[in-house]
Amino acid sequence: MITVRPAKPRDAAAWLQLRHALWPEDSAAEHREGIDRFFAGAAREPLAVLLAEDGAGCPVGLVELSIRAYADGCSSDRVAYVEGWFVVPQARGHGVGRALIAAAEEWGRSQGCRELASDAEPDNAVSAAAHRALGFSEVGLVRCFRKEL
Ligand SMILES: CC(C)(COP(=O)(O)OP(=O)(O)OC[C@H]1O[C@@H](n2cnc3c(N)ncnc32)[C@H](O)[C@@H]1OP(=O)(O)O)[C@@H](O)C(=O)NCCC(=O)NCCS
């Protein structure tokens, strides 16, 4: 039995653990800062964080969401966006990711969005397969550049 619900301040430690597992390149302190900003209402992104809990109330996954004015392949200027999507390895393959995306869709509709967009690293074949299985269509592959100013 999987429940998906918005993260609350008491979930900060669990959210930190899931976030750090998804983005290990950022330090725990950096993740904690982002989480504190979110609960203080001062974060530009994410706008919403949904946690998946198993039958024992244990957090097993998350989806972090924002609204972007532009997303590749989208035609609207208010696109619900999956900024982060993660399920703990031992819970994968049992519909937790699907439940998180269904809740993300619901959230997007509640925000007046008509499109849900997402991205994945080019070599993340599992993510690509999961996106496709959940009804996303692949709209492109981009290279990112940066220059110091
Ligand atoms: C991507 C991820 C969130 C999917 O979570 P999950 O709980 O395993 O997903 P589900 O069990 O709900 O599966 C959803 C669909 O994806 C497909 N899928 C999931 N894992 C798959 C795999 N290893 N290979 C192929 N398809 C897969 C399933 O077929 C399923 O469709 P179905 O319900 O029609 O069978 C999870 O693998 C994960 O956390 N990966 C590491 C982090 C990551 O890559 N996140 C995405 C970055 S954008």
CATH of the domain at 127: 3.40.630.30
Q: How far does residue 41's CA lie from ligand 1's centre (Å)?
A: 30
126 in any annotated domain:
yes
| Residue with CA at minimum distance from ligand 1 atom 35 | 133
What band does 78 get if pLDDT is binned at 50, 70 and 90? very high
149 in any annotated domain:
no
Type of residue found at 51: L
CB 115 within 8 A of CB 104: no
Domain that holds residue 22: 3-133
139 in any annotated domain:
no
CB 85 within 8 A of CB 100: yes
Give the chain's domain count.
1
Task: Name the nearest CA neighbour of 84 among 139, 39, 135, 24.
Answer: 24
Per-residue tokens: 65? 């969401």
147 in any annotated domain:
no
Q: How far does residue 85's CA lie from ligand 1's centre (Å)?
A: 10
144 in any annotated domain:
no
Alpha-carbon gap, residue 127 to 123, rounded angstroms: 9
CB 79 within 8 A of CB 70: yes
Give me the half-sphere count of Cα atoms (radius 13 Å) on the Cβ side of residue 66.
13
Q: What's this model's pTM, rounded to 2 decimal places?
A: 0.97
Ligand 1 binding site (Cβ under 6 Å of any ligand atom): 22, 85-87, 92-98, 120, 124, 126-127, 129-130, 133-134
55 in any annotated domain:
yes
The pLDDT value recorded for residue 147 is 98
84 in any annotated domain:
yes
Chain segment 32-50, per-residue pLDDT in tens: 999 999 999 999 999 999 9
Positive or negative, the CA dihedral 142, 17, 9, 61 is: positive
48 in any annotated domain:
yes
Q: How far does residue 80's CA lie from ligand 1's centre (Å)?
A: 20
Alpha-carbon gap, residue 96 to 88, rounded angstroms: 9
The pLDDT value recorded for residue 47 is 98
- Write down how long the chain is: 149
